[in-house]
Amino acid sequence: MNIGILGTGMVGQTLGTKLAELGHSVKMGSRSASNEKAQTWAKATGSNASVGTFADAAKHGEILFNCTGGMVSLEALKAAGEENLDGKTLIDVSNALDFSKGFPPTLSVCNDDSIGEQIQRAFPKAKVVKTLNTVNCQLMVNPSIVPGEHDLFVSGNDADAKAQVTTILKDWFGWKNVIDMGDITTARGTEQLLPIWVRLMSLFKSPQFNFHIAKA
Amino acid sequence: MNIGILGTGMVGQTLGTKLAELGHSVKMGSRSASNEKAQTWAKATGSNASVGTFADAAKHGEILFNCTGGMVSLEALKAAGEENLDGKTLIDVSNALDFSKGFPPTLSVCNDDSIGEQIQRAFPKAKVVKTLNTVNCQLMVNPSIVPGEHDLFVSGNDADAKAQVTTILKDWFGWKNVIDMGDITTARGTEQLLPIWVRLMSLFKSPQFNFHIAKA
């Protein structure tokens, strides 16, 4: 499958590498087609990997991953071009962590809104599915790093897109437990897991942990 | 031990009943000493239970539980009287859920502050420990309702008060896993678990669930 990755950071690179290893054609997009990090990644990853602008990556992908920082996601997606998002499943992995006042970061959007909702409102024809934002990127593609039961959440308005993403999470990445939280407004809840996540990471001195919802 | 419960709702009643059953002398405080809910609770609970104003309950307790709604906690604690809080462990169970715009509620304080911090700032000589706010009240005093591993969080600036509260949680209420998150600012993280909590409750049609942090 052709997949577009928006963003060249650790999250985009880790997802892109895994997807290329699985045999998919992955184009990583950024502001400039000559982005050095993206080019280094593509060389290291091999023939399934290529680079381009945000628009190139979005045009290439049948499915798109938003791996840009939540504070710049709308801008990156505008650069990708609405026409290249329309009708596509857009997996939003972002968190709007604002470190401008140091640690702990605050969320630039929360409580009565979320980045997932902002993206869905800005691009109403894209099928936004919020997921993977509550775990470290190594864990995203290799959940067995953390033993035992633990959960991933999906939020989105389009049932078919959520089913498609759930299949990707389970069959491609190895997730066992995926909880369908409901429509895209439920992304408020999962994005607001980040404030405790960053504190737990400090406490454990490791990002290799995850939430499990234990039920009666 | 003499214990003061501030608030007459389900949370205050459930904690008060459990503490009275354990043999402690529990005074439930509210705006008025003649509060009907509190009086009905005390009659049903027996000789270890009594009622009074917020100030009566705070004066009575060697340890205090703030079981008022987070949006009115500061007001209730002011009515309790700073002199009745000074030097005491104040267990803050509250959440600032604002249902004024319907479901889902928003938090009236979050992101760069928390109710726990507001209380600690307003009453600097009280030893505020934030805990129990992330679980349903039945689960607070009977964690085995949910089988398997699941966790409770404590936040506070005073190490001795946190140790005392951890002993109460484990020895009196039966909690196995209590995670010391750090100082009172970490209450931001646990208070911000509520937005996903209310959505999970809707999804499961039950409040009998809890968070577990699975680690590598």
Q: Give residue-wise pLDDT tens across range A29-49.
A: 999 999 999 999 999 999 999
Sheet containing B49-53: order of strands: B49-53, B25-30, B2-6, B63-66, B89-92, B127-130, B151-156, B177-182
Give CA–CA dist A34/A51, Å, rounded: 8
Indicate the residue of A181, A198, A212 with minimum beta-carbon distance to B212. A212
pLDDT of residue A37: 96
Q: Mapping DSSP to helix (H, G, I), strand (E, B) and coil, where does residue A36 land?
A: helix
**CA separation, residue A209 to residues A175, B19, B40, B88, B192 (Å):** 14, 34, 45, 35, 18
Return the sign of the alpha-carbon dihedral for residues A42, A43, A44, A48.
positive
pLDDT of residue B209: 98
The stretch B202-212 carries a mean pLDDT of 98
pLDDT of residue B77: 98
Query: Is A81 within 8 Å of chain B by CB?
Result: no
Indicate the residue of A193, A208, A214 with minimum beta-carbon distance to B196. A193
- Beta-carbon contacts of A13 under 8 Å, excluding residues fewer than 6 positions away, are A28, A37, A41
Q: Which residues pair with B155 in a beta bridge?
A: B130, B182
Query: Is A106 within 8 Å of chain B by CB?
Result: yes
Indicate the residue of B148, B188, B213 with minimum beta-carbon distance to A200. B213
SS3 content of chain A, % helix, strand, coil (to 5): 40, 25, 35
Query: Is residue B63 very low, low, confident or very high in pLDDT (cuts 50, 70, 90)?
Result: very high
CA gyration radius, chain A: 16
Encode B132-145: b = buried (16+ Cβ within 10 Å), e = exposed: bbbbbbbbbbebeb
Query: Is A193 within 8 Å of chain B by CB?
Result: yes
pLDDT of residue B185: 98
Tell me the chain A residues in contact with residue B111 when contact means C-beta distances shorter than 8 Å: 106-107, 110-111, 195
CA dihedral A34, A39, A42, A46 (to 10 degrees): 100
pLDDT of residue B162: 98
* ipTM exceeding the 0.90 mark: yes
pLDDT of residue B95: 98
Distance from CA of A144 to the nearest CA of B (A): 9
Residues of chain A with pLDDT under 50: none
Give CA–CA dist A60/A54, Å, rounded: 10
pLDDT digits (tens, 9 = 90+) for B7-41: 999 999 999 999 999 999 999 999 999 999 999 99
pLDDT of residue B155: 99
**What are the structure tokens assigned to A7, written together?**
């963003």
pLDDT digits (tens, 9 = 90+) for B125-165: 999 999 999 999 999 999 999 999 999 999 999 999 999 99
Query: Is residue B87 very low, low, confident or very high in pLDDT (cuts 50, 70, 90)?
Result: very high
Selected for mutation to probe chain B from A181, A192, A193, A194 (highest B CB count within 10 Å) is: A192
Q: Whole-prediction pTM value?
A: 0.97
Tell me the chain A residues in contact with residue B134 when contact means C-beta distances shorter than 8 Å: none
Query: Is residue B191 very low, low, confident or very high in pLDDT (cuts 50, 70, 90)?
Result: very high
The stretches of chain B forming alpha helices (DSSP H) are 10-21, 36-45, 54-60, 73-80, 115-122, 137-141, 159-167, 187-191, 194-204
